Amino acid sequence: MTTTLDAALGGLRRTTARRTKVGLVSGGLGAYWPQFPELLPQLQCSAARVAERMRALDCEVVDVGFISDAQDGARAAEQLRVAGCDLIVGFLTTYMTASMLVPIAQRSGAPVLLINLQPTESMDHAGFDTGQWLAYCGACPLPEMANAFLRCGIPFRSVSGYVEDERAWTRIGRWIAAAGVRGALRHGRHGLMGHLYPGMLDVSTDLTLVPANLGGHMEVLEFDDLRVRVAAVTDAEVDARIALAGEVFEVDPSVQEEDFRWAAKVSVGLDRLVDDFALDSLAYYHRGLDGEQHERLGAGMILGASLLTARGVPTTGEYELRTSLAMLVVDRLGGGGSFTELQALNFHDNVVEMGHDGPAHLAISQKKPLLRGLGVYHGKRGWGVSVEFDVTHGPVTAFGIAQLRDGAFRFVASTGRVVPGPLLRIGNTTSRVDFGCDPGEWTDAWSATGISHHWALGTGDLVPQLRATADLLGIELVEVSV
């Protein structure tokens, strides 16, 4: 991210995310070992280095050792099946048969990445004998593996390079990051509280489609689940949350003390709700009427939802379940991910102005975010405090999850740049995004994908990681570029 979470959130610390678990199996053809006694120790040394570099990618590595034949492969397959990995990495150190790895791919229940990393950039052709050449022969079995995997109905992916090849490790890191997102979704607990904003047909999601497409658990909540927790918040806890908000935000004079205290109280109760139900994401909405308690709860959510989002628990308004999941993906890829929709097109400056009232990812703000008091929330009932900021200037990715007619999910992404310029001061997040084309043409192309009117806006070019994530999940990715 462009700002460190500790710096952006003051005394509020980021949630502890589930750690990615990667299985590693290295191998070569056992027939070589008696023929070339120095070969196996050299390959095992490379395997140890690969394991070391993988552990440096912030993942738990389950290393099942070196396999030399199909029997070894079957043993490794069972170990990796029990381990419950998010990704299996098969290191082709030299030639090996497909029968050694196919059972691992079939039984593990996890996607498999094959890596072919030779010891150095090139061989010493004048000085090498056959045994030394074989240490560089990991490319040889790669087409065999591809053929066997495809014939067995196993998706195929690979990275080729050499052991210290930074380009190859960038690609490997991308696959591991994608596996972490897949794991976060498959093991995630996603809350849905309240009801659909009336008439938003694009937002409506069949809850069964989430575990069907992505995995994970849907937890259906009532606003009363929040009400009883907010009622238990003490004045001292409210004071502490106000103090914390004063560290994180610039507080505009328009903020009324009564509204600020209410937002702080709801924020503490919201934290308890998330903890009690072990939620990894939350989407909410309640219309309410005439200032009754549920309306006041819904209107008081923005402060707490923004703090939770920045801590790594995306919390979105308007019952936007798929966007809360999109924000979770972007967050786990390190891009933050703020709740976003179209606001206006600026044909003079050639930018698309986008953002939203309500929850925002504070860690990707260009400067200290602002808390502004609002007497009215446009299109919603209630009043209170709202968050205003501009996403960090530079490369960004718009990313959302569309639901198609057959119930399949589709990833939609587009890269641009947030650029400086005039912004509205109405208690919304607003960013000026230059997609390198006519803003009207981009808007038409983006809308044609079937995206809903909400999505996540994150920092950086995340499309390479999103391609890998879509591959591991078996989901289509549509890249919008005009």
Mean pLDDT, residues 397-415: 97
Q: How do 351-357 and 315-316 pair as beta strands?
A: unpaired
2 pLDDT tier (thresholds 50, 70, 90): very low
- Residues of the chain within CATH 3.20.14 domain(s) are 8-12+187-479
Class of residue 198 by CB neighbours under 10 A (exposed 0-12, middle 13-18, buried 19+)? exposed
- Residues of the chain within CATH 3.40.50.10940 domain(s) are 21-185
12: pLDDT strictly greater than 90:
no
Higher pLDDT, 42 or 375: 42
CB 182 within 8 A of CB 468: no
Structure pTM?
Answer: 0.94
288 pLDDT tier (thresholds 50, 70, 90): confident
Tell me: the pLDDT tens digits for 289-347?
887 889 889 889 999 999 999 999 999 999 999 999 999 999 999 999 999 999 999 99
In sign, the C-alpha dihedral spanning 475, 336, 198, 432 is negative
62: pLDDT strictly greater than 80:
yes
Q: How far is CA 83 from the centre of its chain?
A: 23
pLDDT of residue 5: 42
Tell me: the pLDDT tens digits for 29-49?
999 999 999 999 999 999 999
4: pLDDT strictly greater than 50:
no
Give the span between the Cα atoms of 410 and 112, in whole angstroms. Answer: 22
pLDDT of residue 1: 35
- Quickly tell me which residue has 């497409």 as its tokens: 213
Percentage of residues in the chain having pLDDT higher than 70 = 96
**Which CATH class for the 21-185 domain?**
alpha beta
427 pLDDT tier (thresholds 50, 70, 90): confident
CATH code: domain 8-12+187-479 is: 3.20.14
Q: Which two tokens stand for residue 359?
A: 């929850």
pLDDT of residue 380: 61
Rg of the chain on CA atoms, in Å: 25
378 pLDDT tier (thresholds 50, 70, 90): low
Percentage of residues in the chain having pLDDT higher than 90 = 88
374: pLDDT strictly greater than 80:
no
Mean pLDDT, residues 351-368: 91
pLDDT of residue 359: 81
Per DSSP, helices labelled H in 153-284 are: 166-186, 209-213, 223-231, 235-248, 257-276
10: pLDDT strictly greater than 60:
no
Give the span between the Cα atoms of 81 and 91, in whole angstroms. Answer: 17
Mean pLDDT, residues 339-356: 96
Give the span between the Cα atoms of 347 and 333, in whole angstroms. Answer: 32
Q: Mark 257-292 as b/e (b = at least 16 C-beta within 10 Å).
A: eebbbbbbbbbbbbbbbbeeeebbbbbbbbebeeee
pLDDT of residue 433: 98
Mean pLDDT, residues 159-180: 98
11 pLDDT tier (thresholds 50, 70, 90): low
